[in-house]
Structure 1
């Protein structure tokens, strides 16, 4: 049985390097692991408890929760916007943290990685995402980190999957996340 890893990408831009990194994770996943990039974060309304009602839940939010429920682990890809986590990723975390006491993260392993233009590769945003998803009920694997600086230059003509160093690091990230499925906290 394959381990299902749900990838959430914090950038909606068509040419996003974080999206490309997620695509590379799909391609490089080791045997026994399946990485699925969730499509539709742009369609999910901002979290509002007034619309988080079982009989009238927004379809896009329901789709996200269903995909998360079926996942064994999560791999979040976060760029850095103004020194912090992008709103679209934070919104997804908020929807998955509810209803209160029934987080879809449910103690499942979570790793947060990414790339950004700056010299630190988005570490502030990734740290904020780890904090938020941990509070939301995910089992954050703190020692799985990958922050790739200089994305605009580094990936200008090379897809992350074709960057030997990045491909090796990404393969290790996915393998280590896979290895944490079923491990007690």
Structure 2
């Protein structure tokens, strides 16, 4: 059996992002999943309902929708900005969550999703992950509940090259990936 295909999205555009580093760690420490890190978040334009149909949708958005639709599951790493998720991440989700024509389908509907995050504060990305979970209630995505991977004081969990070195976080990450795999299997993907 081929590995489940996971599209991993970092909500951070920063080159040395700990959230993107978490996704690289997921690739390294994963449980046999095919994890691809999405690189096009910066290219997604602000959401515009006037353009949100298959004839007018920007190419970068159409590509993201296709990739989300084709993935067996999503792995989303979110930083925390102003007690919530970054605007670029919410914007991308807005583009992927709609079907105004009722003919294109909803790529996030029942999609298995795992959430994790890193931030330099003592609370990490707790509030951002909560806000992201609320967004996925509306899209009716199938979100992994436990374990929660909250890399608080993230600068202490990575080495100078951006490698995740904190054993407790690695163990939680592996547990999250195992839980995501179980959700995909229960959903009967493929």
For 1:37, the equivalent position in structure 2 comes to 37
RMSD: 1.6
Deviation at 1:160, TM superposition (A): 4.2
Q: Could you tell me which residue of structure 1 aligns to residue 75 of structure 2?
A: 75
Moved more, 82-91 or 47-56: 47-56
Alignment partner of 2:25: what SS? helix
Aligned-residue offset at 1:28 = 1.5
CA distance in 2, matches of 1:42, 1:158: 23
Query: Which residue does the alignment assign to 1:107?
Result: 110
Q: Where does the alignment leave 5 or more consecutive residues of structure 1 unmatched?
A: none
1:102-141, Cα deviation, whole Å (9 max, x unpaired):
3201202111111111111110000101110221231112
Asked whether 1:27 is paired with 2:14, we answer no
Structure 2's unaligned 5+ residue stretches are none
- Are the counterparts in 2 of residues 94 and 136 from structure 1 also a CA contact under 8 Å? no
Give distance in 2, aligned partners of 1:96 and 1:158. 33
Q: Is 1:117 matched with 2:120?
A: yes
Q: TM-score, normalised by structure 1?
A: 0.92
Aligned residue pairs, count: 183
C-alpha distance in 2 between matches for 1:134 and 1:111: 13
Q: Is 1:130 aligned to 2:133, yes or no?
A: yes
Q: 2:87 aligned with 1:87, yes or no?
A: yes
Give the distance between the partners of 2:165 and 2:157, measured in 1 at CA: 11
| Distance in 1 between residues matched to 2:171 and 2:147, nearest whole Å | 14
Rounded Cα–Cα distance in structure 2 between residues aligned with 1:96 and 1:134: 14
Within 1, Cα distance between the matches of 2:130 and 2:163? Answer: 22
Change (3 A) 1:25 1:111: same
Counterpart of 2:142 in structure 1 is: 139
- Aligned partners of 1:148 and 1:91: how far apart in 2? 24
Deviation at 1:163, TM superposition (A): 2.8
TM-score (norm 2): 0.89
Shift of 1:176: 1.4
Answer yes or no: is 1:63 the counterpart of 2:63: yes
**Contact 1:8 1:38 survives alignment (8 Å):** yes
CA distance in 2: counterparts of 1:53 and 1:159, whole angstroms: 39
